[in-house]
Structure 1
Amino acid sequence: MWGDESMMDESGAGFVRSEHETSAAGTSRDSAADRKVRNLVSVSVDQIRKLYDNESAQLFIHAQPVSMVTVVGMVESVNEQTTSSTFILKDETGPGVEVTFWTLEDKKSSNIPSIVENSYVRVFGQVRSKEGRVYVAAFRVIPITDYNEITLHHLEVIYDCKILEKAKLNIKASEASGFDQSKSNDIISTTSVSAGFSKADQLILETINKTPNPEGMSIQEICLAIRSLEVSIIKKRLEFLANEGHIYTTIDDDHYRSTDV
């Protein structure tokens, strides 16, 4: 599964990063502070635990900043409270990582999936740390019923790692040729946002990002703000964006908030 040596140092397979890798990551982190990256990357638990940089409060893979992650694993030691659930997520790459899933009290009895020990789930969220402890702040937890999805996730981790490695090499090549690094960073950031997005997706996401309301925007408000799109199209694209981890529901199933705010 992790036999490709070219990616082993960042794959979470236990390899120690070389000084050359660390130096490259530091260069990228300095420039990362000047831009806002928005992407969704498939990762392993070990990558989360080992590649998060506390100083910059950012997960880096191949010196590239990662905004949001999706990770698959088995649930251990669940602790459910009124407004949140905390559990340990573990996969085959090593010790588990803590996941915190915040919910609202009036949603606990609706369609929030129950988190059961020894079951497999897919988590969408952001990697954060508190007092040096790395954890995942989840905005979506989906029970896995088809175990082929576990194998698929392993392949996605390898693929995404290769994509980020290629982005890193492209940056190095642009630096060697004297290309403006800030423009290169903008290209990477834009590509990760718009890859696979339709114009409708981008328009909807931009609209939701603009709202200052903590509960996000209702479908009705989104439709009023984007009169150029039919209601049926907006609803379909909202479902797509939610499944991809770019937005999530808040006070009810009709209100959406961006994961980037």
Structure 2
Amino acid sequence: MDYGKSGSGYMNTSFDGSNKTSSGFTRKPMGEQTLRPLTVKQIKGCSIPQDDLYRIDEADVTQVTIVGVIRSVQELATNYIYMVEDGTGAIEVKKWVEQSETPEESEARRLLLPDTYVRVNGRLNSFSGRISVSGHFIRPITDFNEVTYHFLDTIYIHLTFVKPNGGTAMEIDSAPKSVNAAVSDFIQKYDPDSQGCTAEQIIYKFKDVYNEQEIRNAIEYLENEGQCYTTDNNEHIKSCYP
């Protein structure tokens, strides 16, 4: 999938400039063909120039994928409403109940409990100025790396649209990260060292971005989350990631 800019917001080289594919079939609008990774904040900040038309970074968006944690579940007769929060905001995800739900689908739905991290694929929807996601597919996340990857993906795609040339590798690499993610990434770079890196090395690395207390809070958070551990002493930290 190519997320480059075009008149409709996306580029797909399998199509020409007309509304037909090379095989002669009528194509759907580009916003209908693509699945864009987004944060809740991006979704809530989108513009709606007309009914059923949503634009983010001046690109049409309809099909979206988000990652977050379920904060509440409301069971109704015809649908389930999940409040999903990703750290940038919370949004309602509505999943319609299938009349012919299979036992496997029913079992999968029972796994979608509060405090569960999930991947949601769906379609943007709005009613009375309130935007939500109509979920086509919702599944629990079993590898937390998927959460990190998703946010990096949203940054990369955002830069692809807002930068004239799609953004350079350096710009993408230096895109804003949370202090926890930045510290975690730095610690991982010292994986070959049996002692890991020191807190002082981390503080010096980010001295122009975060103060010492923010860094130490991040280290404590990562330790509590099982993402890093101390080695020779409390000042030497090593990542738990391979």
> Scaled by the length of structure 1, what TM-score is found?
0.48
- Displacement of 1:52 after TM fit? 4.0
Name structure 2 gaps, 5 residues minimum: 1-6, 10-18, 20-27, 166-242
Which amino acid in the other structure matches residue 38 of structure 2? V
Amino acid at match of 1:117: P
Question: 1:79-123 CA deviation, whole Å, 9 max, x = no partner?
Answer: 1234421111111113x1111011313316332422201111000
- Aligned partner (choices 127, 130, 134) of residue 130 of structure 1: 127
Alignment of 1:120 with 2:117, yes or no, is yes
Higher relative contact order (CA 8 A, sep 6+): 1
Matches within 5 A, 1:1-261: 36-37=29-30, 38-53=33-48, 55-94=50-89, 96-107=90-101, 109-112=103-106, 113=108, 114=110, 115-166=112-163, 169=164
Name the structure 2 match of 1:198.
none
State the AA in 2 paired with 1:101.
K
After TM superposition, give the deviation of residue 43 of structure 1 in Å: 0.1
3-state DSSP class of the match of 1:107?
A: coil
Aligned length: 138
The answer as to whether partners of 1:75 and 1:90 remain within 8 angstroms in 2 is yes
Offset of 1:53 from its aligned partner? 1.3
Structure 1 residues 58 and 149, CA gap change in structure 2 (3 angstroms)? same
Which of 1 and 2 has greater Rg? 2
User: Between Structure 1 and Structure 2, which shows a larger proportion of helix residues?
Assistant: 1
1:50 positional shift: 1.2
1:157 maps to amino acid: T
Identity of aligned residues (%): 31
Check 1:107–1:54 CA distance in 2 against 1; reply closer, same or farther (3 A cut).
farther
1:101 aligned counterpart, secondary structure: strand
Contact 1:54–1:132 (CA under 8 A) maintained in structure 2: no
- Displacement after TM superposition at 1:67 (Å): 2.5
Shift of 1:28: 7.1
Question: Structure 2 CA distance, aligned partners of 1:52 and 1:81?
Answer: 29
Provide the rounded CA distance (Å) in 2 between the counterparts of 1:50 and 1:75.
21
